[in-house]
């Protein structure tokens, strides 16, 4: 085939990438419509757009995962056919995915060279690869132990391995799809330093993100997608978050969270001396005590991996623990037969898990089926004992999707066909609409666009104002500060301290997150 490595004059003044008239439909969904885009060499080019706007589809076309129905791709001024990812790699394109594609039991070095042994690329000896890796690490601040196993690395390190993989394949153009969604603030800062570094050495970077502050801080140019179309390309220096938000959503968006003071009532959730030790014998939660009252949002701040997830899992019935948890004074079973999701739902706890794809949805199921996932044994959803009333559930799901602005609002699509942000709305809709006494909500707006963030925050606040208790876990400090009435900070599986939101700030919380105890912070 006319591969990506076609001969031809590559003039250094030509844009790194030029897309002309790209269109792509999935059945009736026109994910990309006549898209044209120019990305200049040696720049960081941001792409923003609502969930489902078509960003990932466009990048998947560029990387050879999907074939465009129409349109042309030019790399360095030359037309290329990108039939698969090997063509994309040959054209100098590297991609860092939202969900990493690494082989867990393999080492960093093995992952980096995997797939390069044959084909057009040189047969590397491990020693040579090690040398190259060391050089890349030194050039771009990408230090990783080449002999570490992927399964032993945190997400920040794994992402570095993905970037190294692309650079090892001599990528000149790097596409990052929501790279900071899973990173701690410090890891995100480090990533942006790496990107700056890559740019200063002539690499071209496409950055897809929902976080406008990242766009403002890191990019030279920003393009806006809306409902499958490329609607604007602007110099970052001459725009601002409010303008970008409006271009994305088509209306003014409230970038600040507007809320009235809480009116806390009775204590709904009481946690006393909760401890969790994992299979390796490591303490994940140590003596955690907390309470949440009706009509208030308790935010749990902390760097990812410091026990917040374990706490949510214990409360959601997904993990055993020792200690005491009471809901409205009633003791929950923390390790016996009553320690499961169903028993928790029965006492009025709803749970939006952090990992929506693994724990919140059954991906191949239809949206209407997922709309009752976990609640399907509810007699109100059955036409006869043990028989689900599918027609009713489907029509109920349709209403729910309309209310939560899930796009497309089609309950017959499989959960996996929705974009990430819309999957999140499916889970939130299901859990919030049960009107629980206690909502456990983990990373409610991860991967969600700003219009939807505003919407989700409003729904959570409405639940609070209706007198419900909310326990919010988020790695976004802005979100914790904006939504919570009280904030507890976790570090190393312990509660470092609690503050009223009105009496603390980012600096103090940051210190507590880093392990500084209450007063010292
Ligand atoms: N494999 C597929 N089959 C059917 N529809 C799809 C498929 N992939 C994407 N779509 C649809 O195409 C549209 C664009 O999706 P895409 O994932 O490109 O959006 P996005 O802008 O990347 O969204 P997000 O910010 O939520 O990741 C959406 O309506 C989505 O549901």
**Tens digit of pLDDT per residue, the chain (521 long)?**
334 444 444 456 899 999 999 999 998 889 999 999 999 999 999 999 988 899 999 999 999 999 999 999 999 999 999 999 999 999 999 998 766 778 888 889 888 888 775 433 455 567 888 888 888 888 888 888 989 998 888 778 888 899 999 999 889 999 999 888 777 777 888 899 999 999 999 999 999 998 898 999 999 999 999 999 999 999 999 999 999 999 998 888 777 778 889 999 999 999 999 999 988 888 999 999 999 999 999 999 988 788 999 999 999 999 999 999 999 999 999 999 999 999 999 999 999 998 888 888 999 999 999 998 888 888 888 888 888 889 999 999 999 999 998 988 999 999 999 888 889 899 999 999 989 999 999 999 887 888 888 889 999 999 999 999 999 999 888 899 999 999 999 999 999 999 999 999 888 888 898 887 655 55
61 C-alpha to ligand 1 centroid (Å): 12
Residue to substitute in 24, 30, 31, 95 for testing ligand 1 pocket (most ligand atoms within 8 angstroms of CB): 31
Q: What is the pLDDT of residue 430?
A: 94
Cα angle 66, 71, 74; round to 5: 90
Token pair belonging to 381: 């959803």
Q: What is the pLDDT of residue 2?
A: 39
* Model ipTM value: 0.96
Q: DSSP for 257-313, please give it.
A: ---PPP---SEEEEEEEEEEE-TTS-EEEEEEEEEEETT-EEEEE--TTSSHHHHHH
pTM of the complete model beyond 0.80: no
375 C-alpha to ligand 1 centroid (Å): 27
Residue whose CA lies nearest to ligand 1 atom number 7: 417
13 C-alpha to ligand 1 centroid (Å): 33
53 C-alpha to ligand 1 centroid (Å): 7
Token pair belonging to 161: 């391995």
Residue whose CA lies nearest to ligand 1 atom number 18: 54
- 3-state helix, strand, coil split of the chain in percent (to 5) is 35, 25, 40
From CA 374, how far away is CA 377, in angstroms rounded?
8
CB 54 within 8 A of CB 409: no
Q: What is the pLDDT of residue 222?
A: 98
Cα angle 176, 189, 62; round to 5: 5
- Residues lining ligand 1, CB < 6 A? 26, 29, 31, 49, 51-57, 407-408, 417-421, 449
Q: Identify the DSSP state of 379.
A: G
Q: What is the pLDDT of residue 139?
A: 85
Ligand 1, atom nearest to 57 Cα: 18
Residue whose CA lies nearest to ligand 1 atom number 1: 417
54 C-alpha to ligand 1 centroid (Å): 6
Q: With left for phi above 0 and alpha for psi between -120 and 50, is residue 91 left, alpha or beta?
A: alpha
Other residues' Cβ atoms within 10 Å of the Cβ of residue 119: 10
Q: Which residue has the tokens 């490591």?
A: 282
Residue whose CA lies nearest to ligand 1 atom number 26: 51
Residue to substitute in 29, 228, 366, 450 for testing ligand 1 pocket (most ligand atoms within 8 angstroms of CB): 29
Contacts of 179-184 with CB under 8 Å at 24 or more apart are 179/96, 179/207, 179/209, 180/209, 180/211, 180/214, 181/98, 181/446, 181/447, 182/155, 182/304, 182/446, 183/155, 183/156, 183/159, 184/156, 184/303, 184/304, 184/475
From CA 91, how far away is CA 107, in angstroms rounded?
27
Q: Who contacts 311 (Cβ-Cβ below 8 Å, separation ≥6)?
A: 271, 274, 285, 288, 300, 473, 490
């Amino acid at each position: 085939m006319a591969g990506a490595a076609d001969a031809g004059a590559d003039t250094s003044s030509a844009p790194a990438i030029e897309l002309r008239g790209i269109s792509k439909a999935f059945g009736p969904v026109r994910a990309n419509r006549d898209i044209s885009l120019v990305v200049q060499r040696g720049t960081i080019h941001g792409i923003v757009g609502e969930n489902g706007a078509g960003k990932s589809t466009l990048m998947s076309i560029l990387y050879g995962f999907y074939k465009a129905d129409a349109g042309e791709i030019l790399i360095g001024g030359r037309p290329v056919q990108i039939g698969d990812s090997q063509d994309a790699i040959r054209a100098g394109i590297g991609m860092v995915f939202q969900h990493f594609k690494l082989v867990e039991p393999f080492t960093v070095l093995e992952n980096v060279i995997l797939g390069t042994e044959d084909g057009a690329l040189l047969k590397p000896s491990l020693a040579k690869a090690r040398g190259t890796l060391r050089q890349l690490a030194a050039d771009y601040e990408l230090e990783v132990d080449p002999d570490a196993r992927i399964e032993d690395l945190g997400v920040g390190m794994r992402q570095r391995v993905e970037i190294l993989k692309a650079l090892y394949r001599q990528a000149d153009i790097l596409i990052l799809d929501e790279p900071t969604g899973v990173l701690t603030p410090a890891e995100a800062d480090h990533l942006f330093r790496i990107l700056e570094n890559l740019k200063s050495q002539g690499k071209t970077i496409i950055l897809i993100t929902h976080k406008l502050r990242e766009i403002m801080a890191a990019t030279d140019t920003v393009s806006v997608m809306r409902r499958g179309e490329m609607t604007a390309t602007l110099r970052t220096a001459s725009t601002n978050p409010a303008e970008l938000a409006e271009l994305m959503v088509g209306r003014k968006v409230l970038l600040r969270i507007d809320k009235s003071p809480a009116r806390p009532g009775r204590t709904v959730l009481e946690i006393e001396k909760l401890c969790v030790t994992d299979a390796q014998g490591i303490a994940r939660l140590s003596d955690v005590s907390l309470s949440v009252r009706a009509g208030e949002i308790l935010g749990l701040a902390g760097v990812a991996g410091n026990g917040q997830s374990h706490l949510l899992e214990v409360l959601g019935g997904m993990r055993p623990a020792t200690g005491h948890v009471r809901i409205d004074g009633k003791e929950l079973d923390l390790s016996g037969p009553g320690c499961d999701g169903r028993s928790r739902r029965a006492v009025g706890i709803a749970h939006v898990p952090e990992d929506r794809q693994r724990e919140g949805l059954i991906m191949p199921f239809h949206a209407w089926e997922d709309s009752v996932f976990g609640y399907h044994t509810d007699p109100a959803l059955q036409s006869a004992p043990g028989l689900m009333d599918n027609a009713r559930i489907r029509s109920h799901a349709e209403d729910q999707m309309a209310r939560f602005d899930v796009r497309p609002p089609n309950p017959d699509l499989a959960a996996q066909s929705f974009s990430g942000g819309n999957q999140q709305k499916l889970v939130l809709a299901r859990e919030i609409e049960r009107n629980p006494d206690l909502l456990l909500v983990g990373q409610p707006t991860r991967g969600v666009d700003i219009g939807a963030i505003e919407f989700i925050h409003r729904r959570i606040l409405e639940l609070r104002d209706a007198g419900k208790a909310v326990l919010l876990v988020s790695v976004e400090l802005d979100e914790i500060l904006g939504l919570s009435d009280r904030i507890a900070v976790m570090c190393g599986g312990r509660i470092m301290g609690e503050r009223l939101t009105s009496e603390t700030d980012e600096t103090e919380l940051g210190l507590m997150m880093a392990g500084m105890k209450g007063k010292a912070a």
